[in-house]
Structure 1
Amino acid sequence: MKHHSVFPGTPLASQAYRTASMGQELICDLRTLQRIGPHAGRRFWASCFGGVILGLLWMGAVIPLAMGSHKGADEHHVVSDSGIEQSVGHAIAGAPFQIYLSEGGGTDEQGSRKQARVDDALQTVIGAFNHMMAHRTDYARFDEALSKGALQKVIIEPKVVNRDGKEFLILVVRTAQPNQVKLLISASGLEEQGYLNHPEQLVPVLAREFQWVVSKSDTTPKRQAKELPSDLKQAPIKTNQEIAELSGEERDHVLQALFRTYLTTTDRYNSLEGQSYYETGSTTRIPPAQPDSTTKLYDIRVREALQKIVREPYFQKQTPKAVRSLLNGKIWNVAFADIHNRDWATRTRVVPREQSITVGEQDKTIQPAMVLINIHRSASPDDPFFEETRGLPMGALPAETLARVIAREIQDNITEKSMRGHVAQDELSAP
């Protein structure tokens, strides 16, 4: 499960390149002097000569400043974090985009090593894209992005960071052009993670990133979710100590009370409306008898899974944080959803700290979180519940397996995402 909200909030912007054009124009206007007196001619030429000298001095001082400030209004110019432009694009056969190299500055030994690393990164990325183009249909998101013209260009930087200073191996950023994005790739990241000069190892990493290319390039309006309830003074949340002292049956009673206040188990965007559902343990999809049949079915299945989490000793022992988070006010929504433009199976989302809500008689301040289960997605090999799900899509899991999937997602992700409010990228993936 990987990381960037269906909860209201302003998403953190990803770092992007901003270009602006700057022009400077020199006008020398030497007015003709009327001849007054015998020295008028000399005064005229002295004035002209002085004006020319002054103009040349002005050009020498200002034009270098203008050149240094130039960021390249032309879309084919790319500026690196070193400020040195590289305008030559490297083509990939059959691809509508090109790869650009932002050159690092420096003439010393360290600068030379840095530039050599960027050059190696260029060849690595070209090799990876050549392979993906040759096997385009094997990479569904890549193929979709190419068909839509979603990727404007690829830029290799010495280092890629967002506006918060966090480093990324690959970062997708929007452009001024609607429905198009840029892909930034870190040369230092390729080296540190062992991908440099190994394009075949970079291919699967690069291919996964195209789910973000497809999503971020989609500028169509998203569905609006219902507002979160704000008056929750009587919400029966428990402290962690109280939860630890409760029996499984008592924890279930608390859970049922939370269902009657704020805890919901349906997608707030109604993305399952009219969708088919899965037979348990099978990949067979069945059309719904009514538009809301699938929503109701998975609402029941999620509630059954949550009851297992709070009741059964296994979860109290193996995933205690999941048990606590369901009863202490942290989790507000656990639901299946159809998020077709994401390749993950489960995801935890938390509102940022500035949108915290006060609940309970003791006025506890919390950052509401939700857990989404992507109905048509299967677990990937790096998911901790991969073996348990046996390749089935999330919507086909029986309640016992679903409970373990949900519990593991909460156990592994709730603390980190509560600390920083995980909205930057997932705000874009609402159904």
Structure 2
Amino acid sequence: MLRGNPRTLVAAVIASLFFITRIVTAWFLLFMLAAMLWSGLFGGMQDGPPWPAVLVFLVTMALVLTGAFSHVRRVRLIAGKVDAGTLANRQRRQVEIPFEAGEAFDLVDAAIRELPRTEEIESARDSLQVRAKVQRIDPYSNKSPSRFNPLAWLGNKRNQILATVTPGEGAGSLLLICEPESPAWSDWFKVDDGTNLENAEAITRAITRRVAERRRSEQASVRQTVTEKELTVAKLNLLHAQVEPHFLYNTLASAQYLTRSDPQRADEMLGNLISYLRHSLPRTEDSLSTLGEELERARAYLEILQIRMGARLNLQIDVPAPLQAVPFPAMMLQTLVENAIKHGLEPKPGGGTIWILARSQEQGVAVTVADDGQGFNAESSGTGIGLKNVRERLRLVYGAAAGFAIVANFPSGVAATITVPGAIDGGADHA
């Protein structure tokens, strides 16, 4: 039973009656023309047509009428509506695909190839066209249309598909045509049982599904990228927050002692500690510091140690002013300095010297922290976490664009060099 808006139902009934009447009228006129030609050529129609001819006419008209009604009913099942567009044997679709033309063509080609009973596919990528033939079957018997069906007498064995992709700005426009493999005049005498409508809808659904899958994949990729970025930021913040607690405790204990024995040096130590802590405050998100800021932090740290170690610690810094503006990962220079003190100079009875050097190179800026301590041959309780963190942070921030090398210093000690990409104003080479 038909349901819906009364005006829509009336339009559907009128379209159905017009379609059925058109098919029946075409066959009626065809029989009348055949009868007139037979009478004109052979005579014998004075007493009316013979009963076998009348019987053939009545049976044919009955089959035509039931076939047309079946076509209308099936079209309504497929499309959910009945109008001149859905009842037509030839279907046209204009589909906008939000991909560039080549990608849209590949999507359309794959959708057509997956259509059931598709054969003789001709795919021309340069012209962005796909042609294909589709075997037609009786939708109620899953076989080819019966030869006793008058609606299949005019060569109604296959349908054909023509798909053309037109390039646009970042998108492709698809023109899809699904029609019988027969001339247009034959549409007056036959129906396709909605098979071309079914093919057009199937291809459109396949394209929509593939576009939706691509969108879901892109959204999942974006979510994964955001998650990876959040994990990276978390790792950077964790590494950034790694401050040696013993240094802080020892500095405060030394300052407490000096307040009684040497207040001026205690004041100097606390001032350096304040400077160190100010430069150690966590930065927003994963933004980079500068080499100058990291140098100030390392200088404050080493000046505190100079007060504690006295003549056992010497400091030499050679970082040209233009290089101090180069972006540099926070706490990384500090890690190398702490490593040189802890594993190089503190275990050495006579102490030694720390060098901090920076040079401009073709691939960026090289920053070196060197010492003349005990070097690689010394027994050390270090776990290597600090240097591992340096490598990990360089990978997270720069990928393969940065480098890290640690070698033996001459005549003793270790030299660690970090190379980061960076453009220097003026292009001066400070090597």
* TM-score normalised by the chain length of structure 2: 0.22
* TM-score normalised by the chain length of structure 1: 0.22
Q: Which structure carries more relative contact order (alpha carbon 8 Å, separation 6+)? A: 1
Name the larger-Rg structure.
Answer: 2
Higher relative helix content: 2
Higher relative strand content: 2
